[in-house]
């Protein structure tokens, strides 16, 4: 006959099972629906092992920190998390979350139960991402870590896990990408290789406003105030990332609209663009189709929005024509930032024009430029001091 022994403070009982193993039954709370006690079974090979586990559980119950470990697998939980707990993030971010889950996290760890997921298993997974035939970049691994971390953080909040195993892991350090703005001779050479088409206008406008690709391609005429010489940047053109999606307007990267006052040269370019677009619309007639994106400043000859990949191809052609190597479209933005700082604009103004979240980020991004400015300031001060000497 199985042996039963009373546990500490009557909170549990221990018995030996017919197969020789031991079981403890512990009261861990009360069912809010029925009012009856909730009991949990704890198993072990020896009475001592089970008693230790039972006492540990009872201490947690008495201190109010006991939580039942979830039987959910990581795959089950992450799909729930994505559907129910990411409504506050941008659409593009949710798409990236799903891609990181489906392509990397779930194939490696999806079958593991939340209760069995350890820091060691997660660290092994991170390490595997940087190896093999197609190792991922440090930035990609950081993004994947961010998805898993946020999902498991919510699981801890809900009591499905006691701790978040990602917090004990390390990920590769991201090496800061080298900024490659155009210098003054390169700017002159590029401008000399431009035509009078829409792509050349985009390149020129971006060189002297520093707009992001989605921002300039999503610029609409109601946001251009010719009378006051202002541009309102309040949205961006979202490029489809999934099959069946269409181009549409989306919120800005930091959800913060801004107003910039570009050089009069930029406004003159936009006036010329408006006249050119009116001529294109007349020629197209019934073929004009804005694709549900009305009032775009930069369109094809039949009214369609322009694609960032197409714009980049035209930029590279102009660079080659000027005898220059390839650049990213984003390097035009860097060029605007660097030339603005070197021209004497204060960091706060540059930050607001670029739409950075903080001036600290601008300083970090272009620290090498501000260092040059500080050196120039020191030389000017020294010249002033020298002028004071008798």
Mean pLDDT of 299-323: 96
pLDDT the model gives residue 7: 42
CATH of domain 74-168: 1.10.150.130
pLDDT exceeds 90 at position 332: yes
Percentage of the residues of the chain whose pLDDT score is greater than 70: 91
- Taking residues 79-106, what's their average pLDDT? 92
Show Cβ contacts of residue 138 under 8 Å, excluding neighbours closer than 6 positions: 130, 171, 172, 173, 174, 175
In which band, very low, low, confident or very high, does the pLDDT at 389 lie, cut at 50, 70 and 90? confident
pLDDT of 133:
82
For the chain, the average pLDDT equals 88
**In the prediction, which pLDDT does 30 show?**
65
Summarised one tens digit per residue, pLDDT across range 10-19 is 457 888 988 8
**Which DSSP category does 137 fall into?**
P
Query: How far apart (Å, rounded) are the C-alpha atoms in residues 336 and 322?
Result: 19
Output 294 or 245, whichever has higher pLDDT.
Answer: 294
Given a cut of 70, whether residue 233 has pLDDT beyond it is yes
Q: How many CB atoms lie within 10 A of CB 271?
A: 12
CATH topology of domain 184-328: hpI Integrase; Chain A (1.10.443)
* CA count, 13 A, side-chain hemisphere, 209: 29
Burial class (CB in 10 A: 0-12, 13-18, 19+), 356: buried
Q: Residue 281: in which H helix or E strand, if any?
A: helix 264-284
Cα 229–chain centre separation: 33
Distance from C-alpha of 105 to C-alpha of 120, rounded to nearest angstrom: 15
Mean predicted confidence (pLDDT) in 243-256: 86
User: Where is average pLDDT lowest: 27-41, 68-82, 240-254, 255-269?
Assistant: 27-41
Q: What's the rounded mean pLDDT across residues 127-150?
A: 93
User: What span, in angstroms and rounded, lies between the C-alpha atoms of 282 and 134?
Assistant: 51
Whether 155 has a pLDDT exceeding 50, the answer reads yes
Torsion of CA 19, 21, 27, 30, to 10 degrees: -50
């Amino acid at each position: 006959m199985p042996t039963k022994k009373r546990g500490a403070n009557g909170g549990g009982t221990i018995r030996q099972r017919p197969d020789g193993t031991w079981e403890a039954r512990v009261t861990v709370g009360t069912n809010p629906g029925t009012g009856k006690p909730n009991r949990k079974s704890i198993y072990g090979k020896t009475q001592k092992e089970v008693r230790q586990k039972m006492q540990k559980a009872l201490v947690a119950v008495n201190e109010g920190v006991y939580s039942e470990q979830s039987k959910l697998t990581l795959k089950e939980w992450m799909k729930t998390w994505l559907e129910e707990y990411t409504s506050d993030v941008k659409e593009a971010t949710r798409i990236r979350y799903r891609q990181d889950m489906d392509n990397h996290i779930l194939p490696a760890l999806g079958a593991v139960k939340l209760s069995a997921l350890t820091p060691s298993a997660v660290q092994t997974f991170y390490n595997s991402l940087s190896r093999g035939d197609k190792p991922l970049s440090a930035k990609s691994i950081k993004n994947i870590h961010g998805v898993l971390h946020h999902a498991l953080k919510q699981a801890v909040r809900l009591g499905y896990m006691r701790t978040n195993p990602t917090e004990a892991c390390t990920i590769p350090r991201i090496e800061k990408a080298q900024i490659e703005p155009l210098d003054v001779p390169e700017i002159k050479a590029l401008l000399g290789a431009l035509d009078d088409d829409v792509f050349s206008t985009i390149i020129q406008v971006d060189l002297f406003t520093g707009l992001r690709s989605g921002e300039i391609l999503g610029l609409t005429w109601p946001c251009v105030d010719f009378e006051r010489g202002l541009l309102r940047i309040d949205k961006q053109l979202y490029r489809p990332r999934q099959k069946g999606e269409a181009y549409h307007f989306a919120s800005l990267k930091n959800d913060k609209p801004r107003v910039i006052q570009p050089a009069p040269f930029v406004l003159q370019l936009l006036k010329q663009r408006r006249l050119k677009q009116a001529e294109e619309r007349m020629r197209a007639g019934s073929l004009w189709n804005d694709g549900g994106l009305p009032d775009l400043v930069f369109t094809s000859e039949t009214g369609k929005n322009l694609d960032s990949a197409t714009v980049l191809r035209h930029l590279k052609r102009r660079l080659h024509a000027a005898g220059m190597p390839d650049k990213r479209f984003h390097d035009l933005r860097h060029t605007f930032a660097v030339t603005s700082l070197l021209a004497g604009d204060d960091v706060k103004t540059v930050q607001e024009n670029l739409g950075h979240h903080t001036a600290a980020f601008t300083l970090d991004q272009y620290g090498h430029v501000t260092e040059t400015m500080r050196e120039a300031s020191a030389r000017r001060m020294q010249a002033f001091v020298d002028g004071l000497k008798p």
